[in-house]
Amino acid sequence: MYAYLIRRILATIPVMAVVAVFVFSLLFLSPGDPAAIIAGDLATADDIARIRERLGLNEPFLVQFGKWVFNLMRGDLGVSIFSNLPVSKLMLQRLEPTLMLTSTTLVIAICAAVPMGVIAAWKAGTFIDRGVMLFAVLGFSFPSFVLGYLLIYTFSIKLEVLPVQGYTSISKGFGPFLNNIILPSLTLGMVQAALVARMTRTSVLEVLAEDYIRTAHAKGLATHKVLIGHALKNAAVPIVTIIGVSFALLIGGAIITESVFAIPGLGRLTVDAILRRDYPIIQGVILVFSGAYVLVNLAVDIIYTFLDPRIRF
């Protein structure tokens, strides 16, 4: 068990190494002169030279990479081209809204999707089941920037019950925070909920065909106890897996959702960086988000061993 944990934790190192190498080499693999592209169409030769110097593009590849990794180890993600501030500082300032948005979304999505999936599996083939499956396919198809504007139009402009855009920190009270975060969370949570509901349905459906479910029914156990205590518990592993895998979708969606709802988080930082071609920021955001993805999936793998005692390594 401990040997497995250590092996699993060590396995994240090569993954992060590949991410780092890839993100760094993009500057060199991209066709044309990255310094000229970052500088933009109106740049003078001096500007381009300055940016080349700043990105360290004058030095040999391996020297640059060594320096970059060394700084990375000390938590130094480089300096923004546009504002001259350290990338790590800029990211820390924007961390809270993104963290709040993604965690609220996950809570809402899981709380809605797991019961939906269980009920759909229990009532398989009925119109309830069809309804859940229809919701799932629609959830995949409506992108967050379409759904977000539809929700804003309905709840903020027509019904005037929620604020149009913006973000209020939770430190200024839970009510105002919730008012602002509810629409973005629903928007971002749609895909997540669709995925989790679908996976829950399939997984529970498989377990429901097992003999011990029939036995549980036969000994007179209440339906809800069979569904939650027996079926859902045994169906949990694939559901947790899909939550871990879909974390990448959650991050990608957060960038767009923050942009729709004008939330000053990491996504907005990224979008502003795109417009200014501030590559060090984009680099930093990728590294941090990929790191988060790797950690979440590490956590998922560890949770398995608690969820399912049959899994032994």
Partner 1 sequence: MTATTPAAVIDIIEPPKPIGQQIVEFCRRNTTVVFGSILLLSMVIIAIFAPFFAPGDPLALAPARRLRPPSETYWFGTDMFGRDVFTRTIYGTRISLIVGISVSFLSTLIGLVIGMLSGYVRMVDAIVMRIMDGLMAIPGILLAIAMMALTKASVENVVIAITIPEIPRVVRLVRGVVLQIREQPYIEAAQSIGTRFHRILIKHILPNIMAPLIVQATYICAAAVLIEAGLSFLGAGTPPNIPSWGNIMAEGRTFFQIAFWIILFPGLFLSVTVLAINLLGDGLRDALDPRLARRM
* Torsion angle of C-alpha atoms 196, 197, 200, 206, degrees rounded to 10: -130
**Which range binds partner 1 by CB under 8 A, 71-79, 91-99, 229-237, 255-263?**
255-263
The SS3 of residue 86 is strand
Give CB contacts under 8 A, 24+ apart, made by 40-43.
40/277
The binding track of 121-160 with respect to partner 1, each residue x by CB under 8 A or -, is ----------------xx-xxxx-xx--xx-xx---x---
**Which range binds partner 1 by CB under 8 A, 11-19, 42-50, 84-92, 99-107?**
11-19
- Taking the C-alpha atoms of residue 218 and residue 115, their distance in angstroms, rounded to an integer, is 24
- Candidate list 5, 49, 271, 303; residue touching partner 1; CB under 8 A: 271
Task: Give residues 179-198 in contact with partner 1 (rule: CB under 8 A).
Answer: 198
- Candidate list 79, 249, 302, 303; residue touching partner 1; CB under 8 A: 249
Question: How many helices (H) and strands (E) would you count in the chain?
Answer: 16, 0
Chain centroid, CA 6 distance in Å: 25
**Considering all CA atoms of the chain, what is the largest pairwise distance in Å, rounded to the nearest integer?**
82
CB of 147 to partner 1, least distance (A): 8
Nearer to partner 1, 97 or 284 (CB): 284
CB of 152 to partner 1, least distance (A): 8
Amino acid at 251: I
Nearer to partner 1, 170 or 244 (CB): 244
Annotate 148-180 with three-state secondary structure. HHHHHHHHHHHCCCCCCCCCCCHHHCHHHHHHH
In the complex, the residues that contact partner 1 under the rule CB under 8 A are 14-19, 21-23, 26-27, 30-32, 34, 37-38, 137-138, 140-143, 145-146, 149-150, 152-153, 157, 164, 198-199, 202, 206, 248-249, 251-252, 255-256, 259-260, 270-271, 273-275, 277, 279, 282-283, 285-286, 289-290, 293-294
